[in-house]
Structures are given as C-alpha cells and as structure tokens.
Amino acid sequence: MFLVANLPPVECFVRKEYLYDLDGRGEGEFTPAIWVSVKSIRGRALYFESLLTEYGALYDKLPLSAYTWRTEIGYELPLDYLEIWDSFSYHITVIEKATLKGLRCAMYAKDKEYYHGEYMFTIDSCHDDPNMLNTTLSETPNEHKSFNIIKLDNGQFAAQPNNRMKWFEQSLIAHETKDPDFKVSTKYFSVEQNPKWSAGNQDRYFYEIEEAYDFKKKK
C-alpha cells in the first residue's frame, strides 16, 4: 500500500496530551480509542490513526508513544525506545505472521534491558514502483528492517525489528535459548543470474534446462 494501510481494530487508549499538541493540557489523562490505520512517511516515526469513541472523531499522525492498552503504566519507555528506526519508505504492508500469532516475545532496548510482551502484527516496507527512482534503503539487505508490533507488559506498544527481539514458545523453542551471534545478511540472492544455464526459446511444456556455455573450456 502507498502511504496508508489498514490496521486490525485494536482497542486502546490515547494519552490526551497528544490531542492538544503537547501544550500541557490533558496531561495524565486518557481517552478510549480503536486503531484504524498506519501511515508511513520516510524519515519519520510510524503514524497511527485511531477512532476516539468518546468523541466520534478520527485522529491521526500520532506516534506509538501516544497509545497505551491500559491506563496504569508501569515503567514508561520513550518513543525512541519503543521504535528505534524511522520509516524507510512510503510503500508498506501490514501482516499478521501466522506462526507468531499471540506468541510471547521480548525486545532488547537501548538501555540493554529486555522488555516482554505479546506479538500482534508486522509492518514492512518496500519500493514497489519501477518507474520511480528508488532513493530508499527499504530493499537493501543489511539496512532493511521490519516493524514487529508488540503489546508490552508495561501497558505500551512497541515496533521492533527482528534483530532486536527474542521469541518464546513452549513446543518449538528451546527452554534455554542461545544469544544470537549472527551477522546481518548483505547478499542479494537470485536463481536466474547464472549465464551457464538456459531454457532457450522452447515451446515444450516439459522443457529442459541446458548448459549453454562451459566456462571451464578455454577459448
């Protein structure tokens, strides 16, 4: 989707100070809301739109720090902890990864502490228009990040990439997990770039892939 994508209708609360542009009014107050959509503007935090049920009003362009799922917050995390990367592109998709549905997880924050919660869904980005110059890093392997939306135990929501998270599942995942010591993926993988092979200009249904050139032979 370009710019805006639908969200699951998550029931939550909005901190009312955000509804007054943080001018001091409404501080410490909450109003019920339902998520409607998410907006991705390159170089900015994800913007969430919600239906304010007490007012019958739509309000958008609020960051994750404006939202909670309860009105009693434990340890409060700032926006740059909840979401450590700005949006990469104007083109996004929203998906609930079926294997992760409802799983417990933990995000590794800037303060080197783990904060636990429950997986909700994922927002991912790309550059989908070949007629426009790609000036983003959304498809660069070592720079691309997805945003896993988490319902944190402290009452807030977070958007974290895969490499800042650990997952917990009683059947599939070991009781004592190892710390990942992996490197980021930097390679582009394709299966059609080897000039050695060719299917040729065939009209056969069950075609053969032949060796078109033997690079071991000397010219």
* 26 neighbors 139 (Cβ within 8 angstroms): no
Distance CA 145, CA 123 (A): 10
Considering the chain, what is the average pLDDT of its residues?
90
Q: Is 132 helix (H, G, I), strand (E, B) or coil?
A: coil
DSSP string, 5-26: EE----EEEEEGGGGGTTSSTT
Which residues lie below 8 Å from residue 212, measured CB to CB, with a gap of 6+? 195, 196, 197, 198, 200
Residue carrying structure tokens 């309860």: 70
Confidence of residue 38 (pLDDT cuts 50, 70, 90): very high
* 210 neighbors 200 (Cβ within 8 angstroms): yes
**Each residue of 66-110: pLDDT tens digit?**
999 999 998 899 999 999 999 988 889 999 999 999 999 999 999
Among 84-98, 163-177, 203-217, name the one with the lowest average pLDDT: 203-217
Per-residue pLDDT, 107:
97
**Each residue of 41-53: pLDDT tens digit?**
999 999 999 999 9
Exposed / middle / buried, residue 29 (Cβ in 10 Å: 0-12, 13-18, 19+): middle
DSSP string, 27-81: TT-EEEEEEEEEE--TTS--EEEEEETTTTEEEEEE-GGGEESSSS-SSPPPHHH
Show the tokens assigned to 144: 């691309």
- What is the reported pTM? 0.87
For residue 219, is pLDDT > 60? Answer: no
Scored b (16 or more CB within 10 A) or e, 100-128 reads beeebbbbebeeeeebebebbbbbbbebb
**Each residue of 99-141: pLDDT tens digit?**
999 999 999 999 999 999 999 999 998 877 777 777 777 677 6
